[in-house]
Chain A
Amino acid sequence: MHELTGAQALVRSLEHEGVEVVFGLPGGTILPTYDPLLSSSLRHVLVRHEQGAGHAAEGYAWATGRPGVCMATSGPGATNLVTALSDAYMDSVPMVAITGQVGTSLIGTDAFQEADITGITLPITKHNEIVTSVERIPAAVAEAFHIATTGRPGPVLIDVPKDVQQNTGSVDWPAQMDLPGYQVPGPPSPAAIRAAAALLLQARRPVLYVGGGVIKSDSHQDLLRLAELTRAPVTTTLMARGAFPDSHPLALGMPGMHGTYPAVSALQEADLVVALGARFDDRVTGKLADFAPRARIVHADIDPAEIGKNRAPDVAIVGDLRLTMAGLADAMAAALSDGGTRPDTGDWLSILDGWKRQFPLRYSQDADGPLKPQYVTERLSALTGGDAIIVAGVGQHQMHAAQHYGFTRPRSWINSGGAGTMGFAVPAAMGAQVGRPGETVVAIDGDGCFQMTAQELATCAIEKIPIKVLIFNNGFLGMVRQWQELFYDERYSSVELGTAIPDYVKLAEAYGCVGLRCDRADEVDTILDKALAPSDVPVVVDFRTHDREGVFPMVPAGRPNDDIVLGPEFSADEQRAATRREMGI
């Protein structure tokens, strides 16, 4: 037993969890904890806004697979974490947030900087708790990390009143967790695996619909094995980019609202969809009733509540996805080596290959014309060999990055998927770079997003966190502009930001970063080479991109995926051919 203050116990508990870095910003009620933090083994990254701490913790978790940790004071400090917690909850990101709270005797009195943060974050955390005694701290922290990282991961918040940090109590480690109601789903049922394998052995037009769970469970190698054994094509959702190499012949790219034609349409024509750690999100399914209308469904997920939430499966596999994937691959290998045969998917794959050739992601970059964001992304992909960690905000730049960067490995794509949080990229890239110091971390950001959290450039410059930030500056809230063009009769309401203010080069320099600008296609490689060169400080590039460029293909919101619009780069004949496809198998 140790006689420690709550603050000391809290810091010691974080050390026991193997935490190496905390992103945070101190204030009145968390001050007691910042004192022992100073002499601990933990690195503290002082952010400029608590939202930045939250997204940095997320970026760290995405990039490393380890839980990210952020810390803030009570009241506004805590509420500034709310967006990041909500984001982490939607995208199942393991994260622990620690907030100070006003003293126990002041709770409920509308005290200075008091906010009911456990109440506020109740619907956007996997769990939260207000800790009421020093003795409880080790267990509360251990439980928070256990809950955040096991099962379907998610954010957990611990709120610690100031007096609990200041008081002394008897504490010990390892902490005894007390979670009788928390069950981590175990291995999948062998019967379910057999049933799924049986469907795979019959399927003539199978598709593997791969979601973020494959990355979170580190089962990308089993995915590769399963895909190659079954000769089934693979779509990777926005959450799963990098789970399967884009260069693989079985890769179809991303499905959904801005998915590739082959990915979207393969799901529509499939006779079997195997959903692996994916949740039939509306951005993937389009109009749910018309999604994959001819397919039987295998749904594998660690969260039982996802099964049947949106689409009723024919076979449900609940459990650790890594075990599920390994089990499925083993079952397929065993069936095939026992002389079993799978239907020949050759015809199916050749149809899909035809679609890849006929309906690729298409854009045009004129040598003297306006700079296209797709072109910049493709050059970035080529110059980094698909090996950089790409972080995106939300909007057109995010979709262009997800579509046009050639991903080669898991945990190299980080973005805000479910919540769609603008301003995610810069702080998340900061967190990713802290977690992966030796790697090239590139934030692809829009000018709208960038301005929401750009203050963290100061943190990056001072802490020597050398992220690269590529702003696709089209002077608009581009995705909103695109919707107003398509669905609001080109009535552009409050959507133009302008390209001149701020001057991003000067802004970067003011923050102690290198600032570059590029507005010509023939300068892209030179500028990217400069930006990607090793550096102690962050680099910000202001790419002046075409303000009329849209994101295509596109399935209009709420419409069936069969209504996919290829976009202005395709002729009316091509669109007709895409819409009225004849399968013949």
Chain B
Amino acid sequence: MTTHTLSVLAENKPGVLSHIAGLFSRRAFNISSLAVGPTQDERVSRFTIVVDGASTPVDQVSKQLEKLVRVLKVVQLSEGAAVERELALIKVRADPALRGQLLEVAGVFGASVVDMSPTTLVLEAVSSPAKLDALLAMLDSYGTCELVRTGRIALARGASVITDGGPALQAVPDAADTAA
């Protein structure tokens, strides 16, 4: 499955998430993953949206997103030229006899143990989506009891910044005028 990662800067105002989510549903675009949070500028939220390239015309998605009044900027991150990360918490069955093996697997993937019970472990893994998939596949044979995984977040590699070529964050007027 070819996926496309879109970084979207939007005004941090009520209703922005539903405008963006509503657009996807209205245009019959599919969201594979969505992550949203604040940026260094409290007036601006950043959405990272992953879409399935086969079912969704990504250029059309970008253009429609750009038309939303509260959206400031849409950038398509090209694969390989961006750092992409997901966070997962995994509760996995861990009988005392297998615990050592499990810790070894976790170590290979750079996952850390954040909780432990007599029969389970909770692992925290932060990695690229592909590596995370590999870890999950490994853990399956031990028995994954529960899994929670965030949407993907991504940043372009190198010195380029999403606001290059404007509209810049500075274009947003004083925070005092935009009380959410």
Closest Cβ of chain B: how far from A337's Cβ, in Å? 37
Beta-carbon contact of B69 and A305 below 8 Å: no
Q: Using Cβ atoms and an 8 Å threshold, which residues of chain B touch A127?
A: 69
Beta-carbon contact of B173 and A181 below 8 Å: no
Closest Cβ of chain B: how far from A303's Cβ, in Å? 7
Beta-carbon contact of A118 and B15 below 8 Å: yes
Beta-carbon contact of B11 and A181 below 8 Å: yes
Q: Which of B60-68, B90-98, B130-138 contacts A (4 or more CB under 8 A)?
A: B60-68
A179-B69 CB under 8 A given contacts A119-B18, A122-B22, A123-B22:
yes
A123-B26 CB under 8 A given contacts A181-B167, A305-B64:
yes
Judge whether B10 is part of the interface by a CB distance below 8 angstroms.
yes
Closest Cβ of chain B: how far from A304's Cβ, in Å? 5
Residue in chain A with minimal CB distance to B72:
A181
- Chain A, range 130-181, C-beta contacts under 8 Å to B: 130, 147, 176, 178-181
Judge whether A186 is part of the interface by a CB distance below 8 angstroms.
no
Q: Using Cβ atoms and an 8 Å threshold, which residues of chain B touch A307?
A: 63
The answer for the CA separation of A180 and B173 in the assembled complex, in Å, is: 8
Q: State which of A122, A126, A129, A180 has its C-beta within 8 Å of the C-beta of B171.
A: A180
Q: Using Cβ atoms and an 8 Å threshold, which residues of chain B touch A309?
A: 60
Q: State which of A119, A183, A304 has its C-beta within 8 Å of the C-beta of B63.
A: A304
Over the window 103-140 of chain A, the binary record of Cβ atoms lying under 8 Å from chain B Cβ atoms (1 yes, 0 no) is: 00000000000000011001100110110000000000
The answer for the CA separation of A395 and B126 in the assembled complex, in Å, is: 58
Over the window 291-312 of chain A, the binary record of Cβ atoms lying under 8 Å from chain B Cβ atoms (1 yes, 0 no) is: 0000000000001110111000
- Chain B, range 137-178, C-beta contacts under 8 Å to A: 167, 171-173, 177-178
Beta-carbon contact of A147 and B67 below 8 Å: no
Beta-carbon contact of A308 and B60 below 8 Å: yes
Q: Using Cβ atoms and an 8 Å threshold, which residues of chain B touch A487?
A: none
Closest Cβ of chain B: how far from A501's Cβ, in Å? 40
Beta-carbon contact of B70 and A181 below 8 Å: yes
Closest Cβ of chain B: how far from A19's Cβ, in Å? 21
Judge whether B71 is part of the interface by a CB distance below 8 angstroms.
yes
A129-B15 CB under 8 A given contacts A178-B173, A180-B171, A182-B69:
yes
Q: Using Cβ atoms and an 8 Å threshold, which residues of chain B touch A178?
A: 173, 177-178
Q: Using Cβ atoms and an 8 Å threshold, which residues of chain B touch A126?
A: 69
- Chain B, range 55-93, C-beta contacts under 8 Å to A: 59-60, 63-64, 66-73
The answer for the CA separation of A309 and B69 in the assembled complex, in Å, is: 20
The answer for the CA separation of A369 and B19 in the assembled complex, in Å, is: 56
Q: Using Cβ atoms and an 8 Å threshold, which residues of chain A touch B171?
A: 180
The answer for the CA separation of A178 and B180 in the assembled complex, in Å, is: 13
Q: Using Cβ atoms and an 8 Å threshold, which residues of chain A touch B15?
A: 118, 129-130
Over the window 7-34 of chain B, the binary record of Cβ atoms lying under 8 Å from chain A Cβ atoms (1 yes, 0 no) is: 0001100110011001101100000000
Q: Using Cβ atoms and an 8 Å threshold, which residues of chain B touch A119?
A: 18
Q: Using Cβ atoms and an 8 Å threshold, which residues of chain A touch B173?
A: 178, 180
Beta-carbon contact of A122 and B19 below 8 Å: yes
The answer for the CA separation of A181 and B167 in the assembled complex, in Å, is: 8
Q: Using Cβ atoms and an 8 Å threshold, which residues of chain A touch B178?
A: 178
The answer for the CA separation of A123 and B73 in the assembled complex, in Å, is: 20
Closest Cβ of chain A: how far from B177's Cβ, in Å? 6
The answer for the CA separation of A122 and B25 in the assembled complex, in Å, is: 11
Q: Using Cβ atoms and an 8 Å threshold, which residues of chain A touch B11?
A: 180-181
Q: State which of A118, A130, A180, A181 has its C-beta within 8 Å of the C-beta of B68.
A: A181
The answer for the CA separation of A89 and B25 in the assembled complex, in Å, is: 17
Q: Using Cβ atoms and an 8 Å threshold, which residues of chain B touch A304?
A: 63, 66-67
Residue in chain B with minimal CB distance to A183:
B167
Residue in chain A with minimal CB distance to B25:
A123
The answer for the CA separation of A82 and B177 in the assembled complex, in Å, is: 31
The answer for the CA separation of A123 and B64 in the assembled complex, in Å, is: 12
Q: Using Cβ atoms and an 8 Å threshold, which residues of chain B touch A308?
A: 59-60
Q: Using Cβ atoms and an 8 Å threshold, which residues of chain B touch A182?
A: 69
The answer for the CA separation of A307 and B64 in the assembled complex, in Å, is: 11
Residue in chain A with minimal CB distance to B23:
A123
Q: State which of A130, A181, A305 has its C-beta within 8 Å of the C-beta of B71.
A: A181
- Chain A, range 300-332, C-beta contacts under 8 Å to B: 303-305, 307-309
Q: Using Cβ atoms and an 8 Å threshold, which residues of chain B touch A147?
A: 69
Among B63, B64, B68, B69, residue most surrounded by chain A Cβ atoms (within 10 Å): B69
A176-B177 CB under 8 A given contacts A181-B10, A181-B69, A308-B59:
yes
The answer for the CA separation of A178 and B11 in the assembled complex, in Å, is: 11
Q: Using Cβ atoms and an 8 Å threshold, which residues of chain A touch B71?
A: 181
The answer for the CA separation of A284 and B22 in the assembled complex, in Å, is: 28
Closest Cβ of chain B: how far from A401's Cβ, in Å? 31
The answer for the CA separation of A178 and B176 in the assembled complex, in Å, is: 12
Beta-carbon contact of B63 and A305 below 8 Å: yes
The answer for the CA separation of A308 and B63 in the assembled complex, in Å, is: 11
Beta-carbon contact of A305 and B60 below 8 Å: yes
The answer for the CA separation of A182 and B11 in the assembled complex, in Å, is: 11
Residue in chain A with minimal CB distance to B68:
A181
Over the window 185-205 of chain A, the binary record of Cβ atoms lying under 8 Å from chain B Cβ atoms (1 yes, 0 no) is: 000000000000000000000
Residue in chain B with minimal CB distance to A179:
B69
Q: Using Cβ atoms and an 8 Å threshold, which residues of chain A touch B14?
A: 130
Residue in chain A with minimal CB distance to B60:
A309
Q: Using Cβ atoms and an 8 Å threshold, which residues of chain B touch A122?
A: 18-19, 22
Among B19, B23, B171, residue most surrounded by chain A Cβ atoms (within 10 Å): B19
Q: Using Cβ atoms and an 8 Å threshold, which residues of chain A touch B19?
A: 122
The answer for the CA separation of A118 and B17 in the assembled complex, in Å, is: 13
Residue in chain B with minimal CB distance to A126:
B69
Among A181, A304, A309, residue most surrounded by chain B Cβ atoms (within 10 Å): A181
Q: Using Cβ atoms and an 8 Å threshold, which residues of chain B touch A305?
A: 60, 63-64, 66-67
Closest Cβ of chain B: how far from A147's Cβ, in Å? 6
The answer for the CA separation of A119 and B10 in the assembled complex, in Å, is: 18
Closest Cβ of chain A: how far from B14's Cβ, in Å? 8
- Chain B, range 26-52, C-beta contacts under 8 Å to A: 26
The answer for the CA separation of A267 and B159 in the assembled complex, in Å, is: 49
Q: Using Cβ atoms and an 8 Å threshold, which residues of chain A touch B63?
A: 304-305, 307
The answer for the CA separation of A129 and B180 in the assembled complex, in Å, is: 12
Among A119, A123, A307, residue most surrounded by chain B Cβ atoms (within 10 Å): A123
What 10 A-B pairs are tightest by C-beta distance, nearest first? A305-B63, A123-B26, A127-B69, A181-B72, A122-B22, A180-B172, A182-B69, A181-B71, A180-B171, A305-B64
A-B contact pairs, 16 of them (CB 8 A): A118-B15, A122-B19, A122-B22, A123-B25, A178-B173, A180-B72, A180-B167, A180-B171, A180-B173, A181-B70, A181-B72, A181-B73, A304-B63, A305-B60, A307-B63, A309-B60
Residues of B near any A CB (own CB < 8 A): 10-11, 14-15, 18-19, 22-23, 25-26, 59-60, 63-64, 66-73, 167, 171-173, 177-178
Give 16 new A-B contacts, CB below 8 A, not counting A178-B178, A182-B69. A118-B15, A119-B18, A123-B26, A126-B69, A127-B69, A130-B14, A130-B15, A180-B167, A180-B171, A181-B72, A181-B167, A303-B67, A305-B60, A307-B63, A308-B59, A308-B60
